[in-house]
Chains A and B, each alone.
Chain A
């Protein structure tokens, strides 16, 4: 692994499989009701959130704590950050605190890249979502969920990738960091990706991405092993990306009727939070085929794996002496 996780595009196929395998290993440890591993004891992980995202923050927090790291949550809300302190000054503060890893969520695309390359800090940087750029741990947890569901087996598909699996990503591609990371990672893992959106929500330049683009959801559904529904903000309507919510839901939303066009084994994914009635109906969201809740659980395992691989110095958690499961006290 490299020192930082900024973009899913930086991961090779072997890097990605290693992360998924490590997450599988760590998830199994958690299943054995051993809640905490001592692996990162004495290490400090800072969650630096310039944008509200309780879901992502608590997922990283849980992951770090299960590895016994010390966690500092640094939120832009109510801090000096919202009073105009620059990213640089914040970074220098965190460096002085001895942060071993900074998990950053930022409203500007490229802010994690800047943090990692500007020399402001010495620790690892993990991108927890930047602007409309990338969200690599989301892509990893999605790939993890897909591998368990579609490749599967008793071991969750350890050692294997997603070769030949057909994944359709539907919704606001233009503004989606989940889509960008997903395209990079899923194709690296051998999956065939198709993006579906109204043309207004497909970026100019996406024609060069290693995936297909379609404007017709119904035509793509029968050929999909998984359909990932992206959250579509209702405010996009004001900027004329689509005429009305109703029309969006009618043409690009997933309801029971559409879901029936999918192959029997195909799953429905959603990174959350869902806009029920917009991109997904309650019927689909609550069905057995929807993996949304599973994705949340898998998110903790993936983030444990990422922090473990970045901070423990180990090349692999699998194959080499595995993290020794020991019971430890809750210390917070």
Chain B
């Protein structure tokens, strides 16, 4: 990877007026107009948008344990290709990231990859089983400095365990990221419960199973005065609850996935498991409510829930298929398509929802910083005028389970810089 000095010419910082940006010694060294190369490698941005490096609060890197679907190296390459400079690696690996040893292993693998920073997420409970708290303090005190804890994939459904976790992590400014899914209401659930599930005869995953947990958890967070983060919020009702909690001044944040901003349960009529995901694709009304909530800030950020699966786990009947879809390499395009091109969010808003706020929620140092002199050069250059069909054959991820294969989406990450080193140049991984 190049550690040379770079001069980006004519970039629109956060969508503003074109400017030149010099990157040297891992930082943003100079911003101005008419800057001369002085030996720097020149990148003609020509009106492309310069954003702070994207930060993902919700990534499944699969290592250790499921290296057939993704590794830290392939996952971070995918992240860089998608414009990310930091990702939070979810804890549902094999073994589960519920000890200082496992989170340090993932953290070290991230360091070695060099493509983006990997911040491990620690499990809330041992083995994600919801019964006994994992050693949250030990994970925080480890080299990985874990601050985000989640049993993602499973809901911390026991109200007492959830309360204790919320209280306990206050000691080190941690946050519990809840996968909100009432387990009894979702036994055998295969898709959103509604008109389509009734016709298709697939087990329903009702909105209320998400909303009931979110309602309980915002009340718990208020009661113990702690920080709660809601993973992949997917329903209009969930938006209402979070909006209400925020109006009370409670410390609640929420994320939405790109796919929940675009896709609906109508796609399940194909019975193609590429659309099988948890929480499930919802209705058009939910999609519109989520976009609006992301625009007005009720939803704080976009998180990919990048969930790689090997081909055979999707090349089968719906009921037998794994849940989850890729996200890192298409997230920014989906956000441009659903939020920017619709006028709901400008590029400064994109920087806020995909970098500033997720970094703040994760208390991630050096990321989600303004593009200004002296800041770490974690940067993403995106060409918003690009139009092209998604082709998973070109993905850096080890897996191919994208729901956008062949779909035309706008925008393309042309360059990504991690502390001044280019990880992506001219759309190609370095």
Q: Does B201 contact A (CB under 8 A)?
A: yes
> Which of B249-257, B315-323, B334-342, B422-430 touches A?
B315-323
Interface residue from A87, A130, A180, A208 paired with B316 (Cβ < 8 Å): A87
Interchain nearest-CB distance for A309 vs B (Å): 24
Contact (Cβ within 8 A) B196 A204 = no
Whether A110 is near chain B, meaning CB under 8 Å from some CB there, is yes
Q: Which of A110, A203, A205 contacts B271 (CB 8 A)?
A: A110
Q: Report Cα–Cα, A134/B315, bound state, in Å.
A: 22
Contact A204 B193 (CB under 8 A): yes
Task: List the 6 shortest-distance A-B pairs measured between CB atoms, nearest first.
Answer: A205-B198, A133-B201, A108-B319, A110-B271, A203-B198, A132-B201
Pick the residue among A87, A106, A110, A204 that contacts B200 (CB under 8 A). A110
Q: Which residues of A (235-252) have their CB < 8 Å from a CB of B?
A: none
Chain B residues with CB under 8 A of A203: 197-198, 204
Say if the beta carbon of A114 comes within 8 Å of chain B.
yes
Give B340 Cβ to nearest chain A Cβ, in Å. 33
Which range holds the interface residue count of chain B? 20 to 34
Shortest C-beta distance, B195 to chain A (Å), equals 4
B403 at interface by CB-CB < 8 Å: no
Interface contact B271-A113, CB-CB below 8 Å? yes
A107/B197 in contact, CB under 8 A:
no
Q: How far is the CA of A124 from the CA of B191 in the complex (A)?
A: 28
Interface residues in A, total, Cβ within 8 A: 27
B199 an interface residue at 8 Å Cβ cutoff? yes
Given A109-B200, A109-B319, A180-B199, are A205 and B193 neighbors across the interface (CB < 8 Å)?
yes
Given contacts A87-B316, A111-B318, A131-B201, 18 further A-B contacts (CB under 8 A): A87-B320, A88-B316, A109-B271, A109-B318, A110-B200, A110-B201, A110-B271, A110-B318, A113-B270, A131-B202, A132-B201, A134-B201, A180-B199, A203-B198, A204-B194, A204-B204, A205-B193, A205-B195
B-chain residues with CB within 8 Å of residue A133 when the two chains form the complex: 200-202
A113 cross-chain contacts in B, Cβ below 8 A:
270-271
* A residues near B368, Cβ cutoff 8 Å: none
Please determine whether A114 and B271 come into contact, CB atoms closer than 8 angstroms: yes
Which of the residues B198, B270, B318, B319 comes within 8 Å of A204, measured between beta carbons? Answer: B198
A residues neighboring B (CB under 8 Å): 9, 86-88, 106-111, 113-114, 117-118, 130-134, 177, 180, 203-206, 208-209
Q: Contact: A114 with B197, CB < 8 Å?
A: no
Assembly CA distance A217 to B199 (angstroms)? 23
Could you pull out 8 A-B pairs where Cβ atoms are within 8 angstroms? A110-B201, A132-B202, A134-B201, A180-B201, A203-B197, A204-B194, A205-B193, A205-B197
B residues 177-212 near A (Cβ < 8 Å) are 190, 193-204, 206
Any chain A CB within 8 A of the CB of B17? no
* Contact, CB under 8 Å: A107 / B200: no
Instruction: Determine the residue in chain A with the shortest Cβ distance to B203.
Output: A132
* CB atoms of B201 and A106 under 8 A apart: no
Contact A110 B193 (CB under 8 A): no
Note all chain B residues with C-beta closer than 8 A to A131.
201-202, 319
On chain A, the residues within 8 Å of B158 by CB distance are none
Contact yes or no, B196 A86, CB < 8 A: no
- Alpha-carbon distance A117/B269, docked complex (angstroms): 12
Residues of B within 8 A of A107 (CB): 319
Q: CA of A95 to CA of B206 in the docked complex: distance in angstroms? A: 39
Q: Which residues of A contact B195 (CB under 8 A)?
A: 205, 208
Task: Given A114-B271, A204-B193, verify A108-B318 contact (CB < 8 Å).
Answer: yes
Contact call A86/B201, Cβ cutoff below 8 A:
no
Distance of A105 from chain B, by nearest CB (Å): 13
Decide if B312 is an interface residue (CB 8 Å cutoff).
Answer: yes
Q: How far is the CA of A244 from the CA of B200 in the complex (A)?
A: 29
